[in-house]
Amino acid sequence: MTSGDPWKPFQDIINDQWQEARRFKESAAGVVIGHLAPDVPEEILHASGAFPVSIEGASSAVSMAQAHIPGYTCSHVMGTLDLGLSGKLDIIDALVIPYVCDSTRNLSHLWKRLFPDKPSELLRLPKRLEFEGARDYLITEYRRLYEWACGLTGNLPDTERLAESLKLYEKSRALLRRAFLKHRSSPDVWTVTLLRSLFVSASRSDRSKHLEWMKALPWDCPENTESDLAAVYLKGKVWDPPQLSGIMDELGMCLAEDETAAGHRAVMVEGVTNGDPFEALADRSLATIPYTGYHVEPTGLVNGFLERVKKSQASGVILLNPKFCEAAAFDTPDFVNALKNESIPNLVLETSARSFSVGQLKLRLEAFREMLGMEM
Ligand code: SF4
């Protein structure tokens, strides 16, 4: 890439994920708070004066964590623990773990014991989203998280400052939504890999800078309505392995939708920026497509998914399941049956950094691509 390449800032962060966190620490000597997917409101951490940075343990090689946690733990949790044990998370001062399953709760207990100098907080997301008290509960949790983060940075909680952070992040989300639309209309230029670089780097960057970088992208490139790429609906937790985007590009695929936890799913709901920011954050979270670890009435869950797939006009669906994720394993058969009943091609990929082969993954995707019946 040349220095004039507008995609370079995003690619740089993909290549060095702590680059911006390091800069923040060096310039402001501030607090860096890591957070795991899904659904940790970054604006709360930002408003506390901290630098929020997302951590994806899923694609890390595991060598030390198995001494502390059962081998049948998903790569997301196992990888995060290993990153901590191997010193690769030394840059972070604290960690927020969203409580979505037993593995995340176990990680929280282990983290406190193994890293007493790096405070952690378990964000207890409501499990029953349809419960009438879910909204008030979530608002209370968000207030608690804000007070905890401010306790680390030494700033006083300030609703006005949170409202400002909310505005900044909403602007960023709006541009990420536009980027997704651009990928759909010009997938040859705005490839899966480039689109992914925007989403991944957003949660590792100073968000104001990221917003400015995004403005310089080739928004006016022509639409390609004749594209013969196969549009795929992707559902899962994280893009694991990260090579997946490159393989999709190589095999002539694009995204009809990205329903992964921190993908397009995380930005697709337009939040409000007036009124109480805690309420606005809770409303946005409750309107977001429920993550697999939440409890939702099963028929509605499957029908909602099927409706979204049809609306996206995807040629097929990839279910990207982390190996040993009970929640995903529980939901997947119902999703697959529903897709089969509608004759929608689908592929379930169970991935894990511990038993992973790019070649094998590519082979399965090649076969799936052929099934979609379009020219490559
Ligand atoms: S929900 Fe699944 S992928 Fe996410 S942390 Fe739990 S076991 Fe791992």
Confidence of residue 376 (pLDDT cuts 50, 70, 90): very low
Q: pLDDT exceeding 90 applies to what percent of the chain?
A: 82
Is residue 6 over pLDDT 90?
yes
By three-state DSSP, how is residue 41 classified?
coil
pLDDT value at residue 128:
85
Ligand 1 pocket mutation pick from 40, 56, 74 by most atoms within 8 angstroms of CB: 74
What are the residue ranges of CATH 3.40.50.11890 in the chain? 11-160
Alpha carbon distance 67, 352 (integer Å) = 18
Cα dihedral: 339, 341, 343, 344 (round 10): -10
pLDDT value at residue 374:
57
Provide the b/e sequence for 192-204 (b: ≥16 CB within 10 Å): bbbbbbbbbbbbb
The dotted CATH code for 163-371 is: 3.40.50.11900
Is residue 47 over pLDDT 70?
yes
- How do residues 285-338 score in pLDDT, each as one tens digit? 999 999 887 888 889 999 999 999 999 999 999 999 999 999 899 999 999 999
Neighbours of 298 (CB within 10 A): 11
Ligand 1 pocket mutation pick from 40, 96, 239, 325 by most atoms within 8 angstroms of CB: 325
> For the chain, what is the largest distance between any 2 Cα atoms, rounded to a whole number of angstroms?
59
Confidence of residue 216 (pLDDT cuts 50, 70, 90): very high
By three-state DSSP, how is residue 317 classified?
strand
Residues in contact with 348: Cβ distance below 8 Å, sequence separation at least 6, in sequence order: 319, 321, 332, 336
Instruction: Provide the whole-model pTM.
Output: 0.95
Nearest CA to ligand 1 atom 3: 325
What are the residue ranges of CATH 3.40.50.11900 in the chain? 163-371
Alpha carbon distance 299, 36 (integer Å) = 29
- Identify whether the C-beta of residue 205 lies closer than 8 Å to the C-beta of residue 13: yes
Residue 291 corresponds to which amino acid? Y
The dotted CATH code for 11-160 is: 3.40.50.11890
- How do residues 218-257 score in pLDDT, each as one tens digit? 999 988 777 789 999 999 988 988 899 999 999 999 999 9
Compute, in angstroms, the gap from residue 85 CA to the centroid of ligand 1.
20
Q: In whole numbers, what is the pLDDT of the chain averaged over residues?
A: 93
Q: What is the mean pLDDT of residues 183-193?
A: 96
- How do residues 101-146 score in pLDDT, each as one tens digit? 999 999 999 999 999 999 999 999 998 888 889 999 999 999 999 9
The string of DSSP codes covering 201-214 is: HHTTS-HHHHHHHH
CA-291 nearest atom, ligand 1: 1
